[in-house]
A and B are shown apart, each in its own frame.
Chain A
Amino acid sequence: METKVPEFGKAKRPGLLELFFTFSRISFVTIGGGYVMFPVMKAEVVNSKGWISDEEMVDYYALGQSIPGIIAMNTTTLIGYRKRGIPGAICSAAGMAAPSLIVILLIAAFLTPYFDHPWVQKAFAGIRAAVVAMIVMAVWQVGKKSASTLPTLGIALGAFALIVLAGLHPVLMILLGGCLGAILFRKVEGTS
């Protein structure tokens, strides 16, 4: 099963436990779901581990968002499958879910009253401010590669404007970008 998966980009093969613990760590420092997960996952999987390239990260994230279900879980499943086939997909997804299970069970069982404590609220206010920085830097790093030409920069700015100003659904933007790519870059790319 695994041998049929062709390698694209950097070809490091992590162990199943390494997949589990890497995705656990990503999950554990991600507060706020899918969009916040993107920079954290990129930092670990692309920059630190070198398992996939920047472009692959963006592609898998787009696919994770275009299929029903949870963006972070879908993207994780795809990366896990890419590296180690179906066992890799299962271990990665389990790693992603583990911190949620542990922390939420602790809170639901014992800690709900402490959640309103001012220190806890202040800590979260600090984290939210840093999260904005993480996402901005991920956009910058990925944008340097994926939105570096005039037409691709145009698509990026167009997508930003349509979502912020017109409230268009993200999945619609991904489909639109894909269609534009098929029309604009088909001939230029030729037989690359």
Chain B
Amino acid sequence: MTILLELFYAFFVIGSFSFGGGYAILSFLQQEVERRGWMTTERFVDMIAISQSTPGPIAINMATFVGYETGGLLGALVATLAVALPGMILMTLFALCFFHFYERSGTQAVFKGLRPAVVGLVAAAAWQIGKVAVVNGVAAGITVVAIVLIAKWKISPVLLVIGSAVAGILLF
């Protein structure tokens, strides 16, 4: 029981004070795990690698993993709920009033400036991920073929992920 309360408290705090998703949560999480002696360093590194390369938000994956390691199935559920809850509560409270002035011209002017900033920011993410992912000719080939498939035939992300996994196994 104490471990569940500890997990809830730790992950609620992690969820409350992290801006910017998975990688931002990492440093908080490492401090907590080390301080409380929840996992070995090797297991923690495994956890990061697995969380990054399995489906779903990285922070949710990490919470599920650490929760399971320390508190079993119930621990996984508690940690996952706790890490998601602060953002969900804040977002809902925010949404309660936000949509009432979303369409006003002043608000739309703010968003008109903010949208291209987001475009630039996601482009920067493509650049940074590209530096790690497009490592050789084969990878560049997969990227180019994928771009053509999306642009010409609007191929769905599900097919793209399956296809590129198969291409990776066959070509790398």
* Chain A residues close to B by CB (< 8 Å): 5-6, 8, 25-40, 43-44, 47-48, 55, 58-59, 61-74, 77-78, 81-82, 86, 89, 93, 96-97, 99-101, 103-105, 107-109, 112, 115, 119, 122-139, 142-143, 146-147, 152-161, 163-164, 169-171, 173-174, 176-186, 189-192
B142–A70 contact, CB under 8 A? no
Q: Which secondary structure characterizes the binding site on chain B? A: helix
Q: Quick check: is B3 within 8 A (CB to CB) of the other chain?
A: no
Q: What are 22 A-B pairs with beta-carbon distances under 8 A?
A: A29-B161, A30-B55, A32-B129, A58-B119, A59-B114, A59-B115, A62-B114, A69-B88, A81-B92, A81-B95, A97-B57, A104-B68, A108-B69, A126-B169, A126-B171, A135-B122, A160-B120, A163-B124, A164-B127, A171-B20, A181-B111, A182-B113
A62–B54 contact, CB under 8 A? no
CA distance A78 to B168 in the complex (A): 35
* Chain B residues close to A by CB (< 8 Å): 15-23, 25, 46, 49-61, 64-65, 68-69, 73, 76-77, 80, 83-84, 86-88, 90-92, 94-95, 98-100, 102-103, 105-106, 108-130, 132-135, 138-140, 142-144, 146-147, 150-151, 154, 156-158, 160-161, 163-169, 171-172
Distance from A14 Cβ to chain B, minimum over Cβ atoms (Å): 17
Contacts of B135 in A (CB 8 A): 125
A152–B116 contact, CB under 8 A? yes
User: How many residue-residue contacts, CB under 8 A, span A and B?
Assistant: 405
Contacts of A136 in B (CB 8 A): 123, 126, 130, 143, 147
A129–B80 contact, CB under 8 A? no
Distance from B134 Cβ to chain A, minimum over Cβ atoms (Å): 6
Distance from B138 Cβ to chain A, minimum over Cβ atoms (Å): 8
A47–B154 contact, CB under 8 A? yes
For B19, give the chain A residue with the smallest CB separation.
Answer: A171
Contacts of A181 in B (CB 8 A): 109-114
Distance from A152 Cβ to chain B, minimum over Cβ atoms (Å): 4
A5–B99 contact, CB under 8 A? yes
A177–B157 contact, CB under 8 A? no
Contacts of B19 in A (CB 8 A): 65-66, 68, 169, 171
Contacts of A146 in B (CB 8 A): 115-116, 118-119
A34–B22 contact, CB under 8 A? yes
Q: A71-B21, A74-B87, A124-B53 are in contact. Are A129 and B164 (CB under 8 A)?
A: yes
Contacts of B77 in A (CB 8 A): 101
